[in-house]
Amino acid sequence: MISKEMKQLKLTGFVIFLFFLTECLSLPTKPQDVGDFNITQKFIEDNVGYITIIAFAQYVQEASFEEVEMFAKTMTEYRDQCLANSKLPQCSKLANDALLEAICAMEGVPQKRNFSHCCNKDGFERRLCFFYNKKADVGFLPPLPTLDPEVKCQAYKNNSESFLSKYIYEVSRRHPFVFTPTLLTVMGRIEEMTKTCCEEQDKANCFRIKAVPVIQYLKAFSSFQKNVCGAFLRFGPTVVNSIYIAILSQKFPKTEFEELTSILEDVSSKYDGCCEGDAVQCIRGRSKLMSHICSKQDSISSKIKECCEKKIPERGECIIQRKDDKPQDLSLKEEKFTENKNVCEERNADQDTFMAKFLYEYSRRHQELSTPELLRIARVYDDLLRECCNTENPPDCYSTLENKFNETTEKSLKIVQRECEHFQNLGKDDLKYHYFIKFTKIAPQLSTDELTFLGEEMVTALLTCCTLSEEFACVDNLVDLVIGEICGVNGNRTINPAVDHCCKTNFAFRRHCFEALEADKTYVPPSASQGLFMFRTDLCQAHDEELQRKKDRFLVNLVKLKPELTDEELRSSLTEFTNLVDKCCKAEGPEACFNEEGPKLAAKNQAS
């Protein structure tokens, strides 16, 4: 049994993570940096309770709100002690290690919430264990609670801090890989929405309208962050640097390469903490990165001034969404990478810097291309240049590489055009069913919830992009995020050999790899229908949205049961299911109708 004093000592350790960090972050010396450091410090101190809730809820998703709230209150108490006397021995712990030690010290919680195996490890192994314990598929959690608007407003009025704590707890445990600054921004927007809507006469309608952009914001940043962290954990920092060279060069094309590389140093340190779930290091990393960008506005972009005047964390979210115009004197082609006779010598002298310069120059000249396409072109250039530099006449070889870039883009463009043809030719529901069937055949091992989510995300991507002038970049960027959802964040995630190969072999070309996938040949469907054709009368009480969800799940589960059926046969069965529900819900005895018609539909599908 751990004594009360020992438990308190372990809990106290987290406070240094929140406030001092002298061993894991170098203290600033320049006046501007000191000011930014102090502003960040104050923000962390003011939000210690919420930050703790986010960290705990993301690591231990099963934890109750009472457990999380108790932990947050303890952290707030010890914050005050360590601020009063930072030399206390318990205030010298480091970063995430201290947080996890504190969580492990909670009496009975590790056993109750099934993470005691992680607490038996130390240091890096413990951090890795907690990270791999996070679950992207949150089907094990109850549905997100919904409150009557009047009840919601009264709860906020009675205790706004408790109301926001409960909200950020529910959101954080359902989004275990979203960065802390993003979740704090979401919380701020929820508070703004609540304040506004609680003053309205029609509160319900106000909440319904204002919730949409908040949800879209969370989904967009969640997908992007999971995608980049998946790349970071599966392929290492080099791929993340390449992603950000492409993004930043496109967004801020007048930035010099030397300035860009100094920004990338801050990006790398940020992702190291954010992807691991190190809440405060993530806040500090983001703040340091944005302070760097804001201190160099003249050389980076004239369009971020308004963003740089905002507070943490809104400043960072604002900068991320800005985009500058391409300099008028920037030529469409940078000839030094294909016309220069010394290309091989320059490449061999420093391959990483050479390739970074190529990606930088190509990206800033091609704002019309997607990030994945820029990475593909860089990969093609690297592979072919390696071959060219081993020939008798390298310049003759690499002088034609521009044609190879165009071929690569043309192949990617055709994939997007096919997808947008699906969008043009199919209605919204048929488009969704097309992707339900496609994803379920490719990856039937995924849960039904995951597969319906992926199909819906594909439809959203095409609905968003296929009517835009920048159709190609928009579709390719968003579909890449859907693929990121399939591959997941954890490097050890496995689905089936073909999908795993696409996820792990080549980050730039995984979209092309997925496009070539067919139905998984290793999948063994369940021998029984597992109640798929047993229908209950609650189908008749379901609202339109709920009934549609049940139809979606029926189709995905039917594909899992009978993957050999053609798309036409599967859609025909879905139509028969829809007709059956309509017929039985209009019958005098719905239950008797379902009992009679359900087995008929089952027999028909078994015979197919």
Q: What is the pLDDT of residues 139-189, one digit of tens each?
A: 888 888 888 999 999 999 999 999 999 999 999 999 999 999 999 999 999
Share of the chain above pLDDT 90, in %: 55
Query: Of 8 and 189, which is predicted with more confidence?
Result: 189
Place of tokens 């947008």: 420
- The neighbour count for residue 561, using CB atoms within 10 Å, is 20
Distance of alpha carbon 521 from the chain centroid: 29
The span from the CA of 380 to the CA of 388, in Å, is 12
In Å, what is the CA distance from 429 to each residue of 136, 248, 372, 375, 574?
Answer: 26, 37, 28, 33, 12
Q: ∠ CA(7), CA(11), CA(14), 5° rounding?
A: 160
Band the pLDDT of 81: cuts 50, 70, 90.
Answer: confident
The span from the CA of 453 to the CA of 207, in Å, is 23
pLDDT at 258 over 90: yes
| Range of lowest pLDDT (58-72, 265-279, 323-337, 436-450) | 265-279
Report how many helices (DSSP H) and strands (DSSP E) the chain contains, helices first.
33, 0
Give the pLDDT score at 13.
34
| Range of lowest pLDDT (16-25, 444-453, 467-476) | 16-25
Give the pLDDT score at 23.
30
pLDDT at 7 over 70: no
Band the pLDDT of 566: cuts 50, 70, 90.
Answer: very high
Distance of alpha carbon 111 from the chain centroid: 29
221-253 as b/e, with b when 16 or more CB fall inside 10 Å?
Answer: bbbbbbbbbbbbbbbeeebbbbbbbbbbbbbbb
The answer to whether 408 and 381 are in contact (CB under 8 A) is no
Band the pLDDT of 34: cuts 50, 70, 90.
Answer: low
Residue numbers in the known binding site for Zn(2+) are 278
Mean pLDDT to the nearest integer, 517-544: 88
The answer to whether 56 and 17 are in contact (CB under 8 A) is no
Band the pLDDT of 425: cuts 50, 70, 90.
Answer: very high
Cis amide bond preceding 313, omega within 30: yes
pLDDT at 278 over 50: yes
Band the pLDDT of 507: cuts 50, 70, 90.
Answer: very high
Query: Of 271 and 182, which is predicted with more confidence?
Result: 182
Give the pLDDT score at 3.
38
Helices 257-276 & 237-251 angle (0-180, nearest 10)? 130
pLDDT tens per residue across span 369-414:
999 999 999 999 999 999 999 999 999 999 888 899 999 999 999 9
Band the pLDDT of 325: cuts 50, 70, 90.
Answer: confident
Give the pLDDT score at 128.
84
Share of the chain above pLDDT 70, in %: 92
Give the pLDDT score at 93.
64
Give the pLDDT score at 562.
92
Domains and CATH numbers, the chain: 43-60+62-133 (1.10.246.10), 418-516 (1.10.246.10), 537-607 (1.10.246.10)
Band the pLDDT of 545: cuts 50, 70, 90.
Answer: confident
Band the pLDDT of 603: cuts 50, 70, 90.
Answer: confident
pLDDT at 24 over 60: no
Mean pLDDT to the nearest integer, 290-308: 89
The answer to whether 449 and 139 are in contact (CB under 8 A) is yes
The burial class, CB within 10 Å (0-12 / 13-18 / 19+), for 505 is exposed
Band the pLDDT of 514: cuts 50, 70, 90.
Answer: very high
Band the pLDDT of 577: cuts 50, 70, 90.
Answer: very high
Band the pLDDT of 36: cuts 50, 70, 90.
Answer: low
Mean pLDDT to the nearest integer, 347-351: 94
Q: In the numeric block, which tokens belong to residue 272? A: 């190291």
pLDDT at 75 over 80: no
Give the pLDDT score at 487.
94
Q: Which DSSP symbol is given to 565? A: S
pLDDT at 98 over 90: no
Give the pLDDT score at 265.
83
Residue numbers in the known binding site for Ca(2+) are 278
On average, the pLDDT of the chain sits at 86
